[in-house]
Structure 1
Amino acid sequence: MTLCVSARSFRSTLRTLKYSTALTACLLAAVPAMAQVTTGTIRGHVAGVGAGTVVEAVNPDTGFSRKVKTREDGSYALTGLRPGTYRITATGPDGVYEEVVRIQVAQSLVVDMDQLTSDIEEIVVVGKVRPGMELRTSEIGTNVTTEQIDMLPQGSRNFLNFARLAPGVRVSRDEFRQQFSGGAANAQGDSLAAGQTNVFIDGVSLKSNVQQGGIAGQDGSRGNPFSQLAVQEFKVLTQNFKAEFEQASSSVITAVTKSGSNEFEAEAFGLFARKNFTERNFFDKRDDRPKPDFSRNQFGASVSGPIIKDKLFFFLSYEGNFQDRSETVVPGVVTPEQQALLGFDPQEFAGTRTSPFREHLGFAKLTWDISQSQYAEVAVNVSRESDIRDFGGQNSLERANNIKNPVTSVRAKHEFSGDFFLNELTFDWRKSTFNPTPLNQEDPALNFRNVINLGGQSFRQEVQDVAFTLRDNVTFSDISWHGNHVVKAGIRVARVEADVEFGAFINPQFDFFDQPADDLDFSFPAEARLGVGDPNISVGNTQFGVFLQDDWEATDKLIFNIGIRWDYEGNMNNKNFVTPDDVAETMRLLQEMRDADTADALAQGFSVAPDAFDFRADDFISTGNNRSPFMKAIQPRLGVSYDVFGDESTVVFAGWGRSFDRTLFRVAAEESILNNFAQRVFLFSRDGSLRNGQETIAIDRLDGFTREALLTLVEEGNDPGREVRAVDNDLKPPRSDQFNLGVRQQVPMFETVFNFSATYSHIRGKNDIAFLPVNRSNFDRDDDGRLDVINTPRDFGPFNNVIVGVNGRKTRFNALFLTLDKPYSAEEGWGFNVAYTLSFAKQRGNTFNFDWINPFTAPFRPNAADERHRIVINGIVDLPWGLKLSTLTELGSGQPFQVTDLSQGFGRRAVIGNLGDHPGLFAFKQVDLRVQKDFEGDFFGGLEKLSVFVEAINLFNSNNFGGRDGFIPFQGENPNFGLPFSLAGPARTIQFGIKAKL
C-alpha cells in the first residue's frame, strides 16, 4: 500500500478531518479495493496442484466470471462474488476439477475441489448445485433466501419482517413503526431501539441520520423501506459482524438486489385483502363494535434482460401498496343553548371517513460486465407515500395529517480485479424527508372541549436528511504467512446535511370551554396557544471511517477473523451551538442552589439522596467551541472458528467485538430548537377581568382567529415556561461490547443433512442517551420521599423545567440461540428452519428519567427486550399437483409489562418502571400459512408460469396482546391491573394473490 501523506499529517487528518478528501484520493490512486457487505468469498484447495493454477468462477446466467491463481499449497480465494450460482473449475495435472455452488449474500464458503470431472460440457447446473452453507465462520448470521422471500407468508410485503427468522432479533408489530432490533437495545417502554441497527442495500447504508426508526423513511410510516420485488436475498447479522459494517451497535441487515441476465424475464403480482376476509379483533368483540372497514391492494411488476448479451443488463421494478381504512368521527352531544352559541351543528362532521394510504416504490438498475477485470453498475431507488390519518373520535376530518416520507437514492459502483486483488469504488447520494403535512395548514385549530375539534393541526414538522457517501475498500487474497490471509481495508467519507423544523402551535390553537362558573361558553375562546421564534435548524456533518480486516486461515481447520474499525463524526452534537445567556445563567444559578441545598442538608445532619445527580452547569453550556468530536470510536473485532474433524461436520466458534453506533442528530437539534422557539398562552374573558387569579385579555381585542391576530398580543400573552434542553458537551455515541461462543454440527437425518447450531450470546451496551430533570433538590424533603422542585428566579427567563441529556443508559443481554436448518432446494422439494431464543435483557435508565432521576444510580431492570422464550419456525414443501405449502410460525412468552407502583406513596418510594411477569410460555402465538398452486407451461399468451395463492395471517385468530395495565394506586386497588389494553398483531386476515412469470 502506498502512503500519500506523512505520519504527522495523517494524525492531523484524524484529528480535524480537514484532509479527508485528499486522503481518499490518495487511497483511490494507491490501492485496489473490495468490500464484503453484499458480495461473497469462495476459498478452498485444489487437489494435486501447486502455485499458478487458474481457478475460474462463471455465473452461467450472465456470463460474469472471476479468475484467480492458486498459491503454492494449492489454495485459492475467489472474492467479490455477487450472490448466485457459479461453476468453479480448475485444471490440474490429472484433468479438470469442478464444483457448482450457490453463494449467498455476505457468505464465505469453503469449497475444496478433489473430484475430477470427466466431461465438463455435460454438466447441467440445475439440480447439481451444491448448497452454499457457511459453517466455518465466527459471525452470528442468518441468510434469508430468495425462496423464503418469495414463498413465506406475510401481510405487508416488507422484507424486513423476515428478520425474525434470525434468533435474537425482534420485529416490531406496531403498524406505524415497522422496525427490528437485537440484543437488549430498547428505547423506552415497549419500543425497539431501531436507531441502533443498520440496513445495507447493495452495500449502501439506509440508516437515518436524524429520525428514529433506524431506516430512512420508516419513522412513523405504514409503508416499506424498499421494494421486496427488487430484493434477491439478504442476511441478518446479530453479532460479531466484521469491521466493514459501520454505525450499528445492535443488528445489521445486508441485502442484495436483483440484476438482469441473458434471459429476458418479466414478473407481475397482485395481492389483496378485504374486510370480509378478516376477523374482529379481541377488543372489537369485547366492546361489541362492528368490524372496521379495511382493504389492502399490493401489486407490482418487474422486467429484466440483456441489452448486450454477456455484457450489459437491466432490471426495473415497481410496487404499489394501496390501503384504505376508516376512522369514525363522533362529536359530543350539545344542549340547545350550546348549539345556538356554536352557530353550526357538530353532527355535520359526524360519520365514518376513509383513511387512505398510498405507496409507490420504484427501482432501476444497470449492470455492465465491461471486461474480465472490470464491472460497473448504477441503481436508482425511489419511494413515495401518502397517509391521511390522525382524525377520528372528536377530531374532525379537517384535523387530519398527510404523513409523507419521500426517499430518493442513487448509487454507482465500479470494480476492477486482478489475479490477487479486487477494487470496489462506490458512490451514493440519498435524500429523505419526514414531512407530516396538515391537510388544512392555513386554518387555525378550533377545539370545542368535549364536543368537536375543527381546523388544521397545530404542529408542523419537516425533517430532511441529505447524505453523500464515497467508499473505497481494499483486499488482497494472495498473502501467505503462517497460513493464508485475505486482507481487506477500507475508507468511507460521508457528508450529511440535516434540516429540521419542529414548530409546535405554528398554526394557532383556540380552545373553547363551556364553564358557566368562570363565565365561559362557546361564544368565544377561553385560551389560545401560539408558537413564536425560530423552529428551524440546519447543520452539516462529516463522517469518516476506516477499517482493516484479516481473514486468516491458519490451518485447514483453524480460521481467525481479526478486524479493527475507527469512526469519526465532525459535528455529531451540534458543536457550533451557543447556549443563550439567560439559559446559561439559569443553569449556573441552579447549580449554586443545588450545591447550597446539599451543603445545608449535610450541615443539618441529613444525608444526600443516594440517587442524587451531580449537576455541573458548565458540562452542558455550549460556547460554540467547547464541544470536540469524539475520537475514541476504536472498534476491535476478533473471531475464531475451528473445524474439529476438518470436514465441516463439527465447528466450534467464538467471537468478541466492540461496535459504535451514532447519536441521532435530532437529540442536538431539539436542544437548539427548544432554546429558540417558545409557546405563548393567551387567556381571554369577556371584559379582561381576573380568572382564578390570572390576568386575561378582553375578547374584543382579538381581531380574528389568525396567527397575525395573536402576534399583536404577544406581549400580553403568558409564557407557560420554556423547557431548557441541554446535552452533555462530552456526549459519546452508543456502543456495545459483544461476546459469543458456540458450536455448529451437521446432523444426518432422513437421508439428508441438517445443520444445528447452539450459541451463547452476551452483549453489554452503554452510552445510550438518558434525559433527566435537574431542577430538583439533592435530598429528601417530605414524608413521601419526594425530591423538591427548585424554582429558579424568573429574572433569567421563564423556565419551568431544565432537562439535560447524558450517556446514562446501559443494557445487559444474555441469550442462548438454538437453530436447526435444512435449506429449501427445488431438487428435494422441501426445507425448514427452527430458531429458538432464550433471552434475559435488562436496562439501567430510560430515555426520560423523571421517576428515578439519576440514570447512573438506577437499578438494572428487565426491559421490553426481555422476551424469555421465542420460537420461530418456517418451512416450504412441494406437494403433488403443483401445490406448495409454506408457513411462518412464531411462538413467544411475550414481553413483560411496565408497572407503576404507588402503593407506598409518591417520590422515591414509588416503584416506577419495574416490569411485571411474562404473560406465559406461549402468550404470543401467530401461525401464518400459505398455499400456492403453480400452472407451468406455455399458455395464456406465452406465460412460463402462473401461480395463484391464498395466505392466512394469524390462522388460528390468536389473541396476542401488547400493553397491559400496570398501575398500582396509592390507595385501593386497580381492578384492571394486568389486563391488556392493546394488541401485538392482527386478527385473522385472509388475503389472495396471483403471480405471473414470462
Structure 2
Amino acid sequence: MNRTMFRAALIAATTLASGAMLMPAPVAAQVGQASLRGRITSTADNPVQQVSAVEAATGYRRTVVAGADGSYNFASIRAGTYTLEIQLKNGTRNSDAFTLQVGQNAGLDLDLSAPAAPAPNTTGQPATEETVVGSTTSNSDEIVVTGSRIRSLSGGTVGTTITQRLIDQLPQNSRNFLAFADLAPGVRFVEENSGGAARIQGGAQDSRTVNVFIDGVSQKDYVLKNGITGQDSSPGNPFPQLAIGEYQVLSSNYKAEFDQVSSVAIVALTKSGTNEFHGEGFYDYTNQALRDKRPTEIFPTPIAKVKTKDQQFGGALGGPIIKDVMHFFASYEGKRRAFPVDILPGNGITVASLPSQYQNLFGTVSSTFKEDLYFGKIDIVPTDGDLIEFTGKYRKESNTGVNSGIAAVETASPTKVDELRAMGRWQHTADNWINDFRVSYEDVSWAPTPALFANSSLFQSTIRNNGGVTRFDLFRIGGGSNYQDKGQKGWTVQDDFTWTGIDRHTIKAGVKTKWVKLNSLEQNLLNPLYTYDVNLFSQTGFNDTVPYRVQFGAPGVSGNSVVKSDNFQFGIYLQDDWDVSDRLTLNLGLRWDYEKTPSYLDFVTPAENLAAVSTANYPNLGSADYNINDYITDGSQRKAFKGAFQPRIGFTYRLDEQGRFTVFGGVGRSYDRNQFDFLQQELSQGAFRTREFNFIGNNSQNPCDPGLTCIAYNPVYLTQAGRDILAAQTVGGGRELRFINNDLKVPYSDQLSLGVRHRVRAVEVEVGYTHIESKDGFVYLLGNRRADGSFFFNDPANPTDTPSSPFGSPPPGYGAIIIGDNGLETKSDAAYVKLTKSYSAASPWSIDATYTYTDAVENRQFGETFSLDFPSINDYPTLRSSGVPRHRFVTAASVDLPIGVSMSGKFQIESPRYQKAIQDTANPFGRTVVGTEVYSLGDRWGRRQLDLAFTKYIPIGFVNDQARIRLRVDIINAMNDRNYTEYNNDPNDNVVDAASPTVYRQRTGYSIGGNPPRTVKLSAGFSF
C-alpha cells in the first residue's frame, strides 16, 4: 500500500473521528478490557431505568443509565462471568450468567416481553444464537430472556482468543503461556533450540515487531530483539502461567490503542481473587528415561542418553480480604532444567577426521537452566464506580549458556535475567464516561558473562567445489566472547478516557507518557579471538599453532563501554466505534507516537572517525555512491521522528438479522520503533573497540599486503602484553567505524484484512485474507569502497575473478566502515481458514483449527540486519521469505472421555523451510542471491509435531466442594518426528567428498533444534 493511499486513509480517518463528536457510539474496551452493549425491550408502561453488570465471583458491579429506547453500554469492564441486573420502573429482572472474554467487544439484546423460554444456560460459556437466558414469569426479581445471542463486534481484527480451558488442558513442553498463540492466523510460536528458547513471529516480520500487553501494560523490549523483555535467547517464561486468566492474539489490524507493534499484539488478563478462597499447586517432571533418543545419540554412532531433567512446579492462592470489596491473588512458578545440546564440527565434518586431542570436545552434552517467577495482585472496589488494582511481578533466572553448535562447552557465557514490574491502576465509572489511569514501573536486566576468561581459538577449513573454494568455521575453543549487560528501567503513566454520551458511539481518547532509561554494556571480544587456517584436508597437517588473525576488544579514549539513554516516549490516540445501524459497525481510529533517544540524537561523531573517513585520509569515498556526510553529526543534525501518524479503520457487517453471517475487514498503519541495540553501537564501538590484525602469509585464501593492520606474526601477540603493543602502534588498530543516518525513520507496517465469519450453533468458521507490508526496517551496510569509489571491481586480466565485498579496502589502519540506515522490507499475502468450537458442559469437546497459506517476500535474509554483500539495500533482490512456511496447519482439540478422563491434543505441520545464499560467478561477472526449499523430511513437510495429554480429576471431598487432585500425562512429539534444522546452503556444492559429505539442500547434521524426541511428562496437582 503506497503512501498516497495512506494519506487518503489518514484524512478519512481524521475526518470521521472528528465527525464522531457530532454523530451517534458503540462500545469499545481499553487494551485487555471487555465491553458489552445492547438494547432491552420492555413494555411501554414499565420502561428500563438502569442496568448493572455483576461479576459472579467477586460481586464487582458496574451500573449504567439506560437510554430511552432501552439501550445500555458497558464500555470497559474486565473479562469474567456476569449477570445483568435490570432496574425497571416497576421491579427488577436478572439475566442468566454469560461470559465476556479478554478484549471481547460483544452485543447482547434482552426482550422482557418475550414468551417463556427453555431452561437457563448455566454453563458459564458465551451464549449462542440457540441459547436463551432464563424465563419471564412475573414482574419480580426473575430471570429474563435474551432476544438474540451474544454477537461479536470485533471489527477488522484477525486473531483468536486463548481461553483458560485451552491453557489448562492443552499439552505443552514448557509452561510458556504464549505457546498457543500460533492458533491465530499468521502467527508462529518457534522454539529455536533444544533449551527451549522461544519467540513469537507474525507473518514475514521478525520477533522484535511483536508486543505483549498484560493487564493493559506493554511488556515491550526496547533494547533486545525478541519483542518481550527477558526473552532474548532465554528458555524462561515471561509470566507465571498460573496467573494468566486468558489472552487474545491479534495478528492484523488492531485498534488505535495498541502501540509499538507492527506484527502480533497479544493481550493477556491476569487472574484475580474472588469472594471464596481458591488455590492450586502442580509439579511436572520428565527425564532421560521418559524420552526417546535424540538423533545425535543414534547417529553416526549410538551413545547412551545424555542426562535430561525437567522439573516445573508452583502454586497459586486467591481469596477475599473484605468480601465484595477487596481481594488478593498470588502465584509462584519455578523451573529447573537439564537438557541436551549438540556440539559438533561445522559443515557436517565427522569428529573422527579431527586430531585426537580435540575429539573429546564434541558430542551431546547437558546444559542447565533455573527460573523463579512471582506474581501478586490486590484489587479494591471501594464504590460501585471505582476499581483499584495493584500488581507486581518478579522474574529471576540463570543458565549455563551452553548451546548447540560448533563452540565447545568452555566457550559458554552463562546468562542472568532479572525483571521487576509493578503497576497501580484506578478505573472510575460515571453515567456516560469511564476513566482508566495506570502508573507502572519496570526494571529489566539481561546479562551474559563468559564462564572462562582466556584466549579463544576459531579453527577454519575449506571446501573445494567446481574449482571454487569456500571457507567454513570448523570449531571453537577457549574463553567466551559474549560479555553484555543490557536492560531498561523507568516509569510509565497512561490514561484512557471513554465517553458513551452520544447515542450509538463509543469515543475513546488515550495518552501514554514514558520515561525509561535504556542501558547497554557490550564488550565484544573481551577474550581475544585467534583464527587459524587449519588446512584440514591438505598434506601439511592440522595447523593449530600459528593464527592468521587476531581480534580483541580494548577500551577506547573514554574507556567507558556503558551506553545509557534517558528516553522519552509519548503516544496519543482517538478511537470511535460507531454503530451505524443494527448491522453495520465502524471502528475509526487515529494514533500518533513519538520517541526521543538522546544517545542517538545528541551524538557527536568523534574526531578520530572524522579523520578516518576524510578525503585526505580515505579518498575512496569521494566517488562513492553514498554521501558519508549524511552519517556525520556535530550533535545538531538529528531530529526525533515526528511522522508516526497511524490511521486505523475497521468494519463489521452482519448479513442476516441473527448475525450468523458477518463480513469484516480493516486497513491501518502501525509504527514500531528502532531497537536500541542497533543505535547504541555507534557509541559502544568507540568506547570499547574491537581491534583486528592479520598476519602476513598465514592465510591460504586471502593473503594480505603489508600495512598498518597486516603485519608479521610474533608469538608475543598471543599474550596481553603483545596485544597492548598492537593496540598502541596504529591509529585505527583495525577497528570498525560505525555511522548511522542522521535522518533515521521508524519501522512500520501497513495492514489490510477482509473476511467472513459464519456461526452454526456453537461452531464458528472464519475465512479471510490479509495483506501486510513492512518498511523502513533497520539495516547495517558496508561503507567501504575501492580506490575508484566502486563496490565491486571486475579485473579483465583475471578471468576467474568473482565479485567480492571491499573488506580489503578500508580506511588506512581501520577494519571497515559500517553504516546504519532504513531499508528492510517484507510483504506477505495470506489466506486462511479458521474453525472454532468452544467447550461446554452440554457439549464437552472443543476444537480450534487454523490453516494458513502465506506468500511472503523479503529483501534480506529473514532475521538478519547486517547486509554486507551489496553496496545498497536496494541492490538486494526481493525473494521468497526464508522465515515463513508457505503452508501451515495448526489444530488443538479436547474432549471429555466416558471414563472420566479429559483428552487433549495439539498438532502442527508446515511446509519445508526456504533458504537463501549468495552465488558469485566469473562469467558473467556478477553476484546473485539464490534460494530454494531444503529437502527436509522427504520433501513433504518441514516441521510436524503431535502432542497429546490425558488428565484425570479426582474429587477429594474436603476443604470445599471443588477440591480435587489432578493427575496428567503429556506425550510431547507423540509420532517422534525428527524436524532437522541443519542444511547445506552452498549452491556450488554438488560433489560429495571428505570435505563436504553433503550437497546443496541436503541435511548436514542431526540436530533437531527446539523439537524434542518423543517425551513423556508426568504431572500431579491439586486445587480447591
Normalised by the size of structure 2, how large is the TM-score?
Answer: 0.82
Look up the equivalent residue of 1:140 and give its one-letter code. V
Look up the equivalent residue of 1:820 and give its one-letter code. L
Q: Is 1:110 matched with 2:107?
A: yes
Map of 1:76 onto structure 2 = 72
Comparing 443-452 and 544-553, the one that deviates more: 443-452
Q: Deviations over 1:576-605 (max 9, x none)?
A: 11112232344453999567657xxxxxxx
Q: Deviations over 1:727-751 (max 9, x none)?
A: 211111111111111111112xxxx
- 2:417·2:447 contact (CA, 8 Å) conserved in 1? yes
Q: Would the alpha carbon gap of residues 720 and 118 (structure 1) be closer, same or farther in structure 2, given more than 3 Å must change?
A: same
Superposition pairs of residues 757-768 of structure 1, within 5 angstroms: 757-768=766-777
Q: Is 1:566 matched with 2:592?
A: yes
Map of 1:184 onto structure 2 = 204
Superposition pairs of residues 417-816 of structure 1, within 5 angstroms: 417-440=429-452, 443-445=453-455, 447=457, 456-480=479-503, 484-508=504-528, 529-533=552-556, 534=559, 535-571=561-597, 574-589=600-615, 593=619, 597=623, 614-680=625-691, 710-711=723-724, 714-716=727-729, 721-747=734-760, 752-776=761-785, 777=790, 780-782=793-795, 784=801, 786=803, 789=806, 794=811, 798-816=813-831
Map of 1:39 onto structure 2 = 33
Q: Would the alpha carbon gap of residues 298 and 237 (structure 1) be closer, same or farther in structure 2, given more than 3 Å must change?
A: same
- 2:204·2:883 contact (CA, 8 Å) conserved in 1? yes
Q: How far off its partner does 1:462 sit?
A: 0.8
Secondary structure of 1:495's partner? strand
Look up the equivalent residue of 1:204 and give its one-letter code. V
Map of 1:928 onto structure 2 = 947
Q: How far off its partner does 1:501 sit?
A: 1.1
How far apart in 2 are the matches of 1:573 and 1:778? 31
How far apart in 2 are the matches of 1:510 and 1:874? 50
Q: Would the alpha carbon gap of residues 590 and 388 (structure 1) be closer, same or farther in structure 2, given more than 3 Å must change?
A: farther
Q: How far off its partner does 1:939 sit?
A: 5.4
Secondary structure of 1:910's partner? strand
Map of 2:4 onto structure 1 = none
Q: Would the alpha carbon gap of residues 990 and 391 (structure 1) be closer, same or farther in structure 2, given more than 3 Å must change?
A: closer
Work out which of the residue numbers 51, 54, 57 in structure 2 matches 1:55.
Answer: 51
Secondary structure of 2:523's partner? strand
Map of 1:359 onto structure 2 = 371
How far apart in 2 are the matches of 1:671 and 1:489? 38
Map of 1:896 onto structure 2 = 914
Secondary structure of 2:682's partner? helix
Q: Deviations over 1:644-669 (max 9, x none)?
A: 11211111111000000001111110
Q: Would the alpha carbon gap of residues 908 and 469 (structure 1) be closer, same or farther in structure 2, given more than 3 Å must change?
A: farther
Map of 1:863 onto structure 2 = 881
Q: How far off its partner does 1:157 sit?
A: 0.9
- 1:899·1:915 contact (CA, 8 Å) conserved in 2? no
Look up the equivalent residue of 1:60 and give its one-letter code. A
Secondary structure of 2:684's partner? helix
Q: How far off its partner does 1:446 sit?
A: 6.0
Structure 2 unaligned regions, length at least 5: 1-26, 129-149, 461-473, 697-703
Map of 1:880 onto structure 2 = 898
Q: Would the alpha carbon gap of residues 913 and 498 (structure 1) be closer, same or farther in structure 2, given more than 3 Å must change?
A: farther
Map of 1:9 onto structure 2 = none
Q: Would the alpha carbon gap of residues 512 and 969 (structure 1) be closer, same or farther in structure 2, given more than 3 Å must change?
A: closer
Q: Deviations over 1:302-337 (max 9, x none)?
A: 011111111111111110110013568999999xxx
Identity %, equivalent residues: 30
Superposition pairs of residues 68-147 of structure 1, within 5 angstroms: 68-92=64-88, 96=93, 98-115=95-112, 125-126=122-123, 130=127, 134=152, 137-147=155-165
Q: Would the alpha carbon gap of residues 396 and 731 (structure 1) be closer, same or farther in structure 2, given more than 3 Å must change?
A: closer
How far apart in 1 are the matches of 2:90 and 2:185? 46
Work out which of the residue numbers 978, 984, 993 in structure 2 matches 1:965.
Answer: 984
Q: Is 1:838 matched with 2:838?
A: no
- 1:851·1:907 contact (CA, 8 Å) conserved in 2? no
Secondary structure of 2:198's partner? coil
Q: Would the alpha carbon gap of residues 274 and 653 (structure 1) be closer, same or farther in structure 2, given more than 3 Å must change?
A: same
Q: Would the alpha carbon gap of residues 941 and 305 (structure 1) be closer, same or farther in structure 2, given more than 3 Å must change?
A: closer
Map of 1:18 onto structure 2 = none
Secondary structure of 1:977's partner? coil
Q: How far off its partner does 1:910 sit?
A: 3.3
Superposition pairs of residues 145-164 of structure 1, within 5 angstroms: 145-164=163-182
Secondary structure of 1:715's partner? helix
Q: Would the alpha carbon gap of residues 761 and 941 (structure 1) be closer, same or farther in structure 2, given more than 3 Å must change?
A: closer
Q: Would the alpha carbon gap of residues 379 and 908 (structure 1) be closer, same or farther in structure 2, given more than 3 Å must change?
A: farther
Map of 2:426 onto structure 1 = 414
Secondary structure of 1:161's partner? helix
Q: How far off its partner does 1:800 sit?
A: 2.3
Aligned-residue Cα RMSD (Å) equals 3.8
Q: How far off its partner does 1:940 sit?
A: 9.5
Map of 1:302 onto structure 2 = 316
Q: How far off its partner does 1:858 sit?
A: 2.8
Look up the equivalent residue of 2:952 and give its one-letter code. K
Q: Would the alpha carbon gap of residues 595 and 133 (structure 1) be closer, same or farther in structure 2, given more than 3 Å must change?
A: same
- 1:136·1:559 contact (CA, 8 Å) conserved in 2? no
Q: Deviations over 1:357-398 (max 9, x none)?
A: 111011011111111111111111011111013379996655
- 1:654·1:739 contact (CA, 8 Å) conserved in 2? yes
Q: Would the alpha carbon gap of residues 793 and 227 (structure 1) be closer, same or farther in structure 2, given more than 3 Å must change?
A: closer
Map of 1:604 onto structure 2 = none
How far apart in 2 are the matches of 1:970 and 1:346? 27
- 1:99·1:113 contact (CA, 8 Å) conserved in 2? no
Map of 2:12 onto structure 1 = none
Normalised by the size of structure 1, how large is the TM-score?
Answer: 0.84
Secondary structure of 1:261's partner? coil
- 2:29·2:77 contact (CA, 8 Å) conserved in 1? no
How far apart in 2 are the matches of 1:410 and 1:665? 23
Comparing 966-975 and 258-267, the one that deviates more: 966-975
Q: Would the alpha carbon gap of residues 935 and 907 (structure 1) be closer, same or farther in structure 2, given more than 3 Å must change?
A: farther
How far apart in 1 are the matches of 2:877 and 2:507? 44
How far apart in 1 are the matches of 2:439 and 2:780? 37
Q: How far off its partner does 1:825 sit?
A: 1.8
Comparing 450-459 and 258-267, the one that deviates more: 450-459
- 1:785·1:907 contact (CA, 8 Å) conserved in 2? no
Q: Would the alpha carbon gap of residues 680 and 230 (structure 1) be closer, same or farther in structure 2, given more than 3 Å must change?
A: same
- 1:265·1:305 contact (CA, 8 Å) conserved in 2? yes
Q: Is 1:983 matched with 2:1008?
A: yes
Comparing 764-773 and 457-466, the one that deviates more: 457-466
How far apart in 2 are the matches of 1:918 and 1:869? 16
Look up the equivalent residue of 2:211 and give its one-letter code. N
How far apart in 2 are the matches of 1:234 and 1:519? 56
